[in-house]
Amino acid sequence: MRLLIENAYVIPVAGDQFQGDIAVGDGRIIHLGPAGSVPEAFTPDETLDATGMAATPGLVNSHTHAAMTLFRGYADDLPLMEWLGEKIWPVEAVLTGEDIYRGSLLAGLEMLKSGTTTFADQYFEMDQVARAVEEIGLRASLCRGLIGIAPHADQALAESRDFIRNWHGAANGRITAMLGPHAPYTCPPSYLEKVLAAADELGVGLHIHLSETRTEIEQIQTEYGCSPIELMEKVNLFERPVLAAHCVHLSEADMEILAEKRVGVAHNPQSNMKLGSGIAPVARMLAAGITVGIGTDGAASNNDLNMVEEMRTAALLQKVGLENPTVLPAGQVLEMATVGGAKALGLAEQIGTLEVGKRADIVLWNLNQAHLCPLHNVQAHLVYSAGRADADTVIVDGRILMRGRRVLTVDEETILREAGCSARALVTRASSA
Ligand SMILES: [Zn+2]
């Protein structure tokens, strides 16, 4: 399928902004340049008139738990450990594969409708998540969450291996897989050793929660006499590609390790705020040369999967935390939400910028609206003024998934109805268990 996007305000993220056209063929960007510059030999099957729209790379949600959309609004305003132990883990214990499929479809729909084209997910029954990703048409890096202190930890690792063998590179490469050790406080070094052996054998990276709360820092310090980051260095976790969610509480030594080992960090400002975890030192991490992407975390701790809002929160939170309005300017935040996330997921060669040769994951944002007028600075608008509903058209791998806000790949009404049924039944099962 050959697609021509005409007369957009193009923000490639790599290179200068311009008014012009983008040509897509075989799922890749084959040309971009000023209006009328597309070679005449290019004959599109479909042309999109993008007058009054900005074209950006699709947003990359670098950390979430998609199926947790089923728990949206179920348990709020509690401390992390109480929230997990008394509310979330009991409902997760009665989740079925079908629930996870429905919750993942709901999450995928929400992300698609807010301009997110790729997400990194850690959960259970990942076959069901992959099924949902395949159906909606998004791109995702998926891993099964591994709790080393749980009764069936070895079985979970075996499931991870099967999942990776079956799905890594599937859906025309839109699905990639990682191993997902949950966190240092749930995966002791002896278990991590097995996970790392599997990562080497399968040639995949790791997606882990690191240094999220002060409680975690204290617990690891008491048990191992070092920080979670130092502990992970000791077990050689960072000798493989690692996507580390949170990294809220870091020492200078921690930051040096993250920079030297090229760890990709997923910053989840709204989840950190809602759970009262703290403010991640994002400006300092970026200054130290660490790759930082932006994520929403699961919808039970956010409570939505809205990357547009997450960009604004990331910028504002650093500014207020450091009492400095110059940190995290709009352009840098947009980079984090696109190419930063792509790098953190190990996908920067394929996505994250609009460049010839990259996969065509493109969002067209409708700029012709009161809250985005006048157009002094479109990048600033996307970070400080835009809303998720400004995502008008979403293209992944050269395929149009949403056009004029109409989703073309799945039936929205069915997804909402089935997710609602699953969520209600879950709560009933959990309370009678
Ligand atoms: Zn998480």
Tell whether 48 and 126 lie within a shared domain.
Answer: no
pLDDT of residue 203: 97
Per-residue pLDDT tens over the stretch 260-271: 999 999 999 999
Cα(226) to ligand 1 centroid in Å equals 22
Shared domain check, 180 and 53 = no
State the number of CA atoms in the 13 A half-sphere of 178 facing the CB. Answer: 28
Which of 321, 344, 367 terminates a domain? The answer is 344
Pairing of strands 3-10, 18-25: antiparallel
> Does 174 share its domain with 49?
no
298 CA to centre of ligand 1 in angstroms: 6
The CATH number covering residue 223 comes to 3.20.20.140
CA–centroid distance, 383 to ligand 1, in Å, is: 23
Residue 184 lies inside a defined structural domain of this protein? yes
Asked whether residue 153 falls in the same domain as residue 259, the answer is yes
Give yes or no for a contact between 342 and 59, defined as CB atoms under 8 angstroms apart: no
Q: How far is the CA of 133 from the centre of ligand 1 (A)?
A: 19
Q: Is residue 349 part of a domain?
A: no
Q: Is the residue at 352 inside a domain?
A: no
Number of domains into which the chain is organized: 2
Same-domain pairing of 47 and 140: no
**How much distance in Å is there from the Cα of 65 to the middle of ligand 1?**
6
- The rounded Å distance from CA 37 to ligand 1 centre is 44
Residue where one domain finishes, among candidates 310, 344, 378: 344
pLDDT of residue 279: 98
Distance (angstroms) between ligand 1 centre and the Cα of 108 equals 17
Task: Examine the domain organization and report whether 270 and 143 are in the same domain.
Answer: yes
Question: What b/e string do you get for 10-39 counting C-beta neighbours within 10 Å, with b at 16 or more?
Answer: bbbbeeebbebbbbbbebbbbbbeeeeebe
Q: Is residue 100 part of a domain?
A: yes
pLDDT of residue 89: 87
Same domain, residue pair 310 and 166: yes
End-to-end CA distance of the chain: 51
**Cα of 299 from ligand 1 centre, angstroms:** 10
**Is 431 within a domain?**
no
Tell me what pLDDT residue 81 has: 81
Domain range for 369 is 3-57+357-407
CATH code where residue 51 lies: 2.30.40.10
Same domain membership, residue 234 and residue 150: yes
Ligand 1 center from residue 168 Cα (angstroms): 21
List the chain residues with pLDDT less than 50.
none
Residues 318 and 237 in one domain: yes
Give residue 121 CA to ligand 1 midpoint distance, Å: 9
**Do 64 and 207 lie in a common domain?**
yes
* Class of residue 321 by CB neighbours under 10 A (exposed 0-12, middle 13-18, buried 19+): middle
Note whether 39 and 135 are same-domain residues: no
Residue 280, domain member (yes or no): yes
Which pLDDT belongs to residue 433?
75
Q: What is the pLDDT of residue 47?
A: 98
Tell me what pLDDT residue 186 has: 96
Q: How far away, in angstroms, is 68 Cα from ligand 1 center? A: 10
Closest CA to 167 of 201, 133, 199, 192: 133
Q: Quick one: pLDDT at residue 22?
A: 98
Is 53 in the same domain as 63? Answer: no
Q: What is the pLDDT of residue 335?
A: 98
- For the stretch 246-261, pLDDT in tens is 999 999 999 999 999 9
Identify the pLDDT of residue 80: 79
Residue 423 lies in a domain: no
Task: Tell me, yes or no, whether 125 lies in a domain.
Answer: yes
Residues with CB under 5 A from ligand 1 (ion): 297
